[in-house]
Structure 1
Amino acid sequence: MEHYEVIEQALIYIENNIEESLSLDSVASRFNLSKYYFHRLFSAMMGCSLNQYLLSRRLNASVKLIQNEDLSLTDIAYQLNFGTPSSFTRAFKRQYGIAPSILREKNETIPQATIPSVVKRPIKNINGDIVTDFTIKEFKAVRVCGIAFEVDLATEDYKAKIRSHSKMLLNNIDKAINGSCYVIYSNCQPNSTRFKVLFGIPHDIQIDKPYYFTIDVPQIFCAKFKYFGDLLEIGDVFISDFARFLKISKQEAENSNIELIQVFENIHNLDSAYHIYVPIKNHPIDSDC
């Protein structure tokens, strides 16, 4: 079983047994893994500890019980293994910003979260730390032609905007063109959620429209990661992966106009695996990494 499949099965097991007294020991033993390895694997894949995840899912399960009003809040606290009603109330208020008693009294609705998906990516073990696999290399200079636009990650429609512009490019290029496809995110100012994006290919596509540009991407020293799935759905996971990479590899992020580059091997198959290149400072790396 692949490492991501272990975590996928663990999430299902947790959900089906959320009212049981689950622990790191019990969940790890369910999958015949040591608790130490399982803890490192789970944290690397999910970006949080198993205990943090269990707490979040117990609180999620409590929402339905509160809204159904079949049980007292004390019964809910004990049924979901919170230890005491007061610890349940504190944790609930911390996660949802409202006490469970107020939620029930006002008959408000909090949507329940589905089981999170597990982002598929290769991993590596460095001196006992499990991290998303990476390499450090030069991103070769390339000329990219494509469609440029701006997105604000604080808005609800930024994902739809990126996808619509990618379709616009695909509709305007010769279907005989094959090869890599680049999505370049750049110029995010400090404390800003606005990015400039170029979705393009290394071909001279000669489209005479105001939003089509040609740019020369310079050679950049980068950390390279591989993922399977939609970049727009893995943002938080990637942020966590990159932070762990910086800590373990003792590298530093580069202050570059280019924030990251996403490279697909086939422009006509954007559901395939892809690589992410992130600029870092050109420091020697420990041979163990």
Structure 2
Amino acid sequence: MDHYAVIESALLYIENNLDQPLSLESVAGTVNMSKYYFHRLFSAITGSSLNNYILSRRLNASLQFIQSNQLSLTEISYLLNFGAQSSFTRAFKRQYGIAPSALRVQNMGIPQVPMPPVVRRSVKNINGDVVTDFTLTDFESIRVTGIAFEVDLADDDYKTKIRSHSDKLLQDIDKTVSGPCYVIYSNCQPNSTRFKVLFGIPYDIQINKPFYFTIDVPQLFCAKFKYFGDLLEIGDVLKTDYARFLKISRQETEDSHIELIQTFDDIHNLQSAFHIYAPIKKLPIDSAY
């Protein structure tokens, strides 16, 4: 069974039927799957419950009606199956931080978000729960040389900042250098969204420019995940995957200054599949999966 095709089909059905009653039974029925297994699969692959996803897409669809000013808020709430206008208003304000009436009066513009793509990664079934596939393994110690910088995930430009520094390293190294590369995220303080990042390669390169460093990454016991696509575009899914992994596998995070390691097989192909290593505590063998 192609799980991704199943979820993609379900997302498309939802997108095309936001004006219709949508339930777990009805959506699961369109992909010929039991509602119980579909519920687990949908949550594992999208990182959201079906009800929350449908609510979010209905609110997203409401933006064009509010901003076109052609329908009343009551008409919009019934058109998109919210029922009472009060329910629509509460949900809208929760998601966007402003009431739909205020959005219309202030003539503000909130862009609609396209239907999200399905993040491709393998899944496994653990005691009836569907979770992103993982391996418990050692990340061997390694020396990495590269460019270091800081990012704040609360800033809108953090993705551009990471990509620009990655491009800079590729421009500064010898074009004959090939092989793996690493993106190391570290030193996130409690209740902070700031990370130190090093984008580097396992070579003893000498680049006499600011912000280039060589660091020794110690051996770490990790949960290893494999993804396809851009880490910067799957961040929310990764956070959900990791939280579900910790809960279902009964593992615990390691108290390490290194938060996450992203590895690519080819520094010249950063759109390829990659692995994520997340440090965890090494528990007794009989408690590990």
What residue is the counterpart of 1:80 in the other structure?
80
Matched letter for residue 186 of structure 1? S
Matched letter for residue 225 of structure 1? F
* Whole-Å separation in 1 of the counterparts to 2:84 and 2:137: 52
Change (3 A) 1:66 1:178: same
Matched letter for residue 58 of structure 1? R
Structure 2, gaps ≥5 residues long: none
Cα shift at 1:84? 2.1
**What is the SS of the residue equivalent to 1:171?**
helix
**What is the SS of the residue equivalent to 2:172?**
coil
What residue is the counterpart of 2:172 in the other structure?
172
What residue is the counterpart of 2:252 in the other structure?
252
Alignment of 1:84-103 (within 5 A): 84-103=84-103
Q: Which moved more, 1:8-17 or 1:261-270?
A: 8-17
What residue is the counterpart of 1:191 in the other structure?
191
Cα shift at 1:288? 7.6
Matched letter for residue 217 of structure 1? V
Aligned length: 289
* Whole-Å separation in 1 of the counterparts to 2:161 and 2:72: 45
Matched letter for residue 14 of structure 1? I
Matched letter for residue 196 of structure 1? K
**What is the SS of the residue equivalent to 2:216?**
strand
* Whole-Å separation in 2 of the counterparts to 1:154 and 1:73: 32
What residue is the counterpart of 2:123 in the other structure?
123
What residue is the counterpart of 2:216 in the other structure?
216
What residue is the counterpart of 2:30 in the other structure?
30
**What is the SS of the residue equivalent to 1:203?**
coil
Q: Which moved more, 1:182-191 or 1:166-175?
A: 166-175
Cα shift at 1:24? 1.0
Structure 1, gaps ≥5 residues long: none
Cα shift at 1:106? 3.5
Matched letter for residue 284 of structure 2? P
* Whole-Å separation in 1 of the counterparts to 2:204 and 2:153: 30
% of aligned pairs identical?
A: 72
What residue is the counterpart of 2:138 in the other structure?
138
Change (3 A) 1:147 1:26: same
Q: Which moved more, 1:87-96 or 1:28-37?
A: 87-96
Change (3 A) 1:119 1:211: same
* Whole-Å separation in 2 of the counterparts to 1:125 and 1:46: 16
Cα shift at 1:285? 5.3
What residue is the counterpart of 1:268 in the other structure?
268
TM (normalized to structure 1)? 0.94
What residue is the counterpart of 1:9 in the other structure?
9
What residue is the counterpart of 1:59 in the other structure?
59
